[in-house]
Amino acid sequence: MTTRPPSNSGDSFFRRTRYAVTSIVILATIFASALIATSIAERRSFRIDLTSTREHTLSQRTRGMLSQLDEPIEIVVNADMNDPATRASLPPVQDLMDLFGAASDKITVTWIDIAKDPATNGFAQVIQRLASGAQTPIAQHTRALEAAVTQSRALATELQATINELDSGKANLSSASAAEWQRAIVAWRVQQDALIRAADEAAAASQTAFSGTVIPESDRAIAALEPVLTALSSSMSQAAQWLDQQTADAPPDAARRITTMTVACEETRDRAAAIFDPLDQLKPLEPLLVARLLQRQQAIVVFSPRGATAINFESMFPPNAAIEGATSAAALFVGEELVATAIGSMNIEDNPIVVLVHAYPASMLERSPAPDSPAIRIAGMIESLQLRRVDVAEWRVTHDALRPTLFDINPQNARPVVWMVLPLQPAADQRSATGMASAERAMATDRLARALGELLDSSESVLVSLEPSELPVIGEPDPIAETLERFAIKADTGRMLVDVRDASQGKALLAYQTSRSANTDNPIGASINGLALQLPWATPITITAAQPNITTSPIVTTPNNATTWGESQWRIWRGASPISPVLPPMTPTLDPDRDAVADNWTLAVSAQVNKIGSTGRMQRLIVVGSPVWFEDYYLNAAAAVEGRRVLAYPANAALLESSIAWLAGQDQLVAPSPRVRDIARIKPLSKSQLTAIRWALAAGLPALVLITGIGVRVLRG
């Protein structure tokens, strides 16, 4: 009888069960570890940047600035998540916001999707916080508007009785004068109705609500009341003067009655002027500017207890050389510099004041400038400066002989002041008429030159923009160019740089110069290097022999491309567009005897007076050889790159902002150029990379564990 060997089936089953349990425990442990690691990473995380250019790390300058924050900062990203181009741009912005949030515990980031209902997307909460931090100015504006509305309605009511009284007094006038007076009565009745409508409009504007938070639209209310009150005051003033003339030939009784009518006109005139005077003293309401910006466009807004400043969303992605033929890979992400500069400006107590120095008859700070006025072209520039917490004033040299004291906005004289000299409407520009004859223009230019000389004699810091001048053409010196020679700056304003290129119809003239490189040894040049800069109607500048205690250096110098020269007969192209080329037969040719040629053209320079032992602010000067480079068109001109709207000339805005910061002595706000990075600042993951990572996490890890288990089983038998 044979005996069977003992069965190992029980042991085999036990081993299989043990290995299965072990595998399940290992998988469960790995899964739990992943959950725990994810939970910890959401609370505390760190990253290691192994790229050679440190493209995923904030610069040392930014980290140093953030380490000195002593107040909470909130960064609000206002973006349209339904826009495909915006969604494509969001990954680098999200990464950047993470870097700022991790760099300082005083920074919080809020996201607003403007495609959603403002009541639920966070907009309402942001506006509420904005208004709560500005209760004092909001209350001041509200009180002023309410008082103006009440007084305007009262004046409109009383104006009815005044008009009736003036109407009844026409019997004391001659028949011819009575007919003229009747026309004035009709006009006043129209003005009375307009005043009632304006008061209603101002009342509605004073109670404007942004997602439930009331922020008075002061500018809208003022725009409604100002023209009506001004017209009423002016017409009553003229009527009083006219009536005063009528008393000379009137009988005694009629003269006394006319005098009573004159007093009534003068009282109405004074009341209308008195209503508007308090409104004219109101400063721009910062919460209103920010709220409107968040409502109408994508932006990044930086809040602090001291106020707010905004960054245009499109400016986060300047095209650089991607426009006009270069590859999109050359586009640089400059978000860090923009956000860091905005935070830095919020951390400064004494923000600069910019004073516009000009010789135009009308104010450049008009709230409702005419469509063809010079003021309309810089309205956006002024608003952008105000959003950066820069106050803007003006000195109309043909209107005010003495420069403004600025006591109302700088009572302690602690804030730096930058004087921005605006040239007259360029003589080559026919886009709008200034109504100035040649003699009047020469006189205005002379006053502007004297004002510039006074500022430089007083050691003020000045930003000067040059225009081509007709005076050197007729053998007379340009007084503005002469004033700059003390700083070793010689401006050839008698010539305008033209670029004549081949076109389909022959030679075409370009009345502008475009540059993408700047002098990186100059702090202003370093801030715009690599960005497209356009300078219309450019005039060449030369740095002459060095002056004692003065450091003068170029900001922008471009090489001669063999098609550019300084044209002496530029007046022929009066009306040449700074945007579109001039086609034959108007195209010029180079005349070596009269025109200027050079190996390089210097288009902008800076100068600094070095006073030994001085502890105050150093006098600084920036001269740009273009008259209109700072206008809204050049600051906001955009192009489409890869389906995204980007600024066509980002260096124009960067040059303006960096120049103001440098002239104000705020060197830390002069942001370096993004070209310090050779590749895109932060690259988003592609769809294929994201898919590979998801599959690796979902299937790769369990497969690896399974293969490891099989290997262990094989090795152990």
Sorted by sequence, the CB contacts under 8 Å of residue 548 that are 6+ apart come out as none
Helix residue ranges per DSSP H, 550-682: 632-636, 650-663
Report whether 260 contacts 304 (CB < 8 A): no
Report whether 254 contacts 221 (CB < 8 A): no
389-431 tens-digit pLDDT:
788 999 999 888 889 988 888 888 889 999 999 998 655 444 4
Q: Is the pLDDT of residue 3 over 80?
A: no
- CA angle, residues 649, 655, 658, in degrees to nearest 5: 140
The Cα–Cα gap between 128 and 177 comes to: 59
Per the confidence metrics, is the pTM higher than 0.85? no
pLDDT score, position 673: 47
pLDDT score, position 179: 82
Phi-psi region of 459 (alpha: psi -120 to 50; beta: other; left: phi over 0): left
Choice between 16 and 521, residue whose per-residue pLDDT is larger? 521
Query: Helix 379-387 to helix 286-296 angle, to the nearest 10 degrees?
Result: 110
Q: Is the pLDDT of residue 287 over 70?
A: yes
- How many CB atoms are closer than 10 A to CB 560? 13
Q: What percent of the chain has pLDDT over 70?
A: 83
Bond into 585 cis (ω within 30):
yes
pLDDT score, position 293: 79
pLDDT score, position 420: 96
pLDDT score, position 457: 92
The Cα–Cα gap between 708 and 191 comes to: 91
Report whether 606 contacts 528 (CB < 8 A): no
pLDDT score, position 126: 84
Strands 213-214 and 209-210, by their bridges, are antiparallel
Q: Return the bridge partners of 620, or none.
A: 608
Choice between 331 and 133, residue whose per-residue pLDDT is larger? 133
Sorted by sequence, the CB contacts under 8 Å of residue 401 that are 6+ apart come out as none
Of 51-60, 231-240, 399-408, give the lowest mean pLDDT range.
Answer: 51-60
The Cα–Cα gap between 538 and 465 comes to: 10
pLDDT score, position 616: 60
Best CA proximity match to 315, nearest among 645, 11, 77: 645
Q: Is 687 exposed, middle or buried (0-12, 13-18, 19+ CB in 10 A)?
A: exposed
Q: Is the pLDDT of residue 659 over 90?
A: yes
Q: What is the mean pLDDT of the chain?
A: 80
460-473 tens-digit pLDDT:
999 999 988 888 87
- How many CB atoms are closer than 10 A to CB 84? 10
Q: Rounded to the nearest 5°, which phi and psi values hold at 638?
A: -130, 160
pLDDT score, position 31: 81
290-314 tens-digit pLDDT:
888 788 778 888 888 777 777 777 6
Report whether 261 contacts 165 (CB < 8 A): yes
Choice between 597 and 581, residue whose per-residue pLDDT is larger? 597
